[in-house]
Amino acid sequence: MEIATPSLVTDIMTREVVSVRMETPLVEAAKILANHNFDGVPVVDAENRLIGIVTEYDLISKDMIHLPTLQVVLNNLQVFKKDQAQFDAEIKKLSNLKVKDVANTEPLTLNARATYEDVLTAFREHHRVNPIPVVDDDKTVIGVVSRFDVLRPLQAVAERHG
Per-residue pLDDT tens for 95-151?
788 999 889 999 999 999 999 999 999 999 998 899 999 999 999 999 999 999 998
Mean pLDDT of the 55-68 span: 64
Q: Is 79 a member of any domain?
A: yes
Q: Assess contact for 135 and 50: CB atoms under 8 A.
A: yes
Q: Is 20 a member of any domain?
A: yes
Share of the chain above pLDDT 70, in %: 73
Number of domains composing the chain: 1
Q: Is 3 a member of any domain?
A: no
Cis omega before residue 68 (within 30°)?
A: no
State residue 106's pLDDT score.
Answer: 95
Mean pLDDT score of the chain, rounded to an integer?
A: 83
Q: Assess contact for 53 and 139: CB atoms under 8 A.
A: no
Q: Is 4 a member of any domain?
A: no
pLDDT band at residue 58, thresholds of 50, 70 and 90? confident
Share of the chain above pLDDT 90, in %: 49
139 phi-psi bin (left φ>0, alpha ψ -120 to 50, beta other):
left
Q: Assess contact for 17 and 42: CB atoms under 8 A.
A: yes
Q: Is 98 a member of any domain?
A: yes
Q: What does the longest C-alpha to C-alpha distance in the chain come to?
A: 70
Structural domain containing residue 48: 9-161
State residue 97's pLDDT score.
Answer: 86
We report the CATH number of the domain holding residue 47 as 3.10.580.10
Q: Assess contact for 7 and 128: CB atoms under 8 A.
A: no
Taking the alpha carbons at both ends of the chain, their separation in whole angstroms is 14
Residue 84: pLDDT over 80: no
Q: Is 1 a member of any domain?
A: no
State residue 113's pLDDT score.
Answer: 96
State residue 79's pLDDT score.
Answer: 57
Please tell me the distance from the alpha carbon of residue 41 to that of residue 100, in angstroms, as a whole number: 13
The predicted model scores a pTM of 0.78
